[in-house]
Amino acid sequence: MSAEHASAPANATEYIKHHLTFLQSHGDGFWRFNLDTFWIALFLGFVFASIFAVAARSATSGTPGRLQNFVELIVEMVDSQIKDAFHAKSKVIGPLSLTIFCWVFLMNAMDFLPVDLLPKAAGALGVHYLRAVPSADVNQTFAMSISVMFLIMGFSIKAKGIGGYGKELLTAPFHASGPIGTLILAPVNLAFQTIELLAKPISLALRLFGNMYAGELIFILIAMLPWYVQWVLGAPWAIFHILVVTLQAFVFMMLTIVYLSLAVEDH
């Protein structure tokens, strides 16, 4: 690493650029990974799994502790949303929805850490670039939303069979009375179905990325101000951002539930 990279940013432009630069692996194009996104997201996944594992092992039918109450509150919230939106039976939808909500929330909540905390800690260890909010990386949000797209296809095939799902792709949303009309409309239906299928992961990914990237950028801009102005502007924005962080995790979970519910229903 050169002395220029190792030194502190010289001006506001370099400061912003420094905080918006990913720690990347060696390689070109597709084979270059954002290591900070990967490792922080993986660590937060283990944090979520560990907390819920401890709560499950220490659960009691008597007077519950604070951790058990907290976990039960989240589980009941997720379960109520599933009962309202998912009109089929599945052993996967519950754990999936709970994982999405908690994991996305933890990734979003990294925005609450002071902007310079983790980058400076990493810099002391010789790592000069680090972005702490995985959900502000469009690669992470698209990875999750593409996974949801494959789940939609899997749920559809399981509920309707390969033949039933293929028939739906060619006969909905426009229906024809005879085989000739069905054949004529098949390419149109397939095009509309493809657009609908691709629009779901794109909207999921960009909605989460856009909100978290904007929040991260605002925190960076506030961090450039004098310390007494940071408290005046930073505290209200952080309080408001609590709603944004929670809401974006909830929306990602709810849209996943709705999309999977639509996938198992017949048109």
What lies within 8 Å, CB to CB, of 260 at 6+ separation is 86, 90, 93, 151, 152, 155
Three-state secondary structure of 79-117? HHHHHHHCCCCCCCHHHHHHHHHHHHHHHHHHHHCCCCH
Q: Which of 87, 67, 69, 89 is nearest to 77 (CA)?
A: 69
Strand positions, DSSP E, the chain: none
Q: Cβ–Cβ contacts within 10 Å for residue 29, how many?
A: 5
Sole residue written with tokens 């794109």: 202
CA 204, 206, 209, 210 dihedral sign is negative
Question: Alpha carbon 54 to chain centroid distance?
Answer: 24
CB–CB of 99/41 below 8 Å? no
Residues with catalytic roles = 203, 207, 211
CB–CB of 243/69 below 8 Å? no
Q: How far apart are the C-alpha atoms of 172 and 152, rounded to whole Å?
A: 16
Please count the CA atoms within 13 angstroms of the CA of 196 that sit on its side-chain side.
15
Question: Alpha carbon 166 to chain centroid distance?
Answer: 29
Q: Cβ–Cβ contacts within 10 Å for residue 259, how many?
A: 19
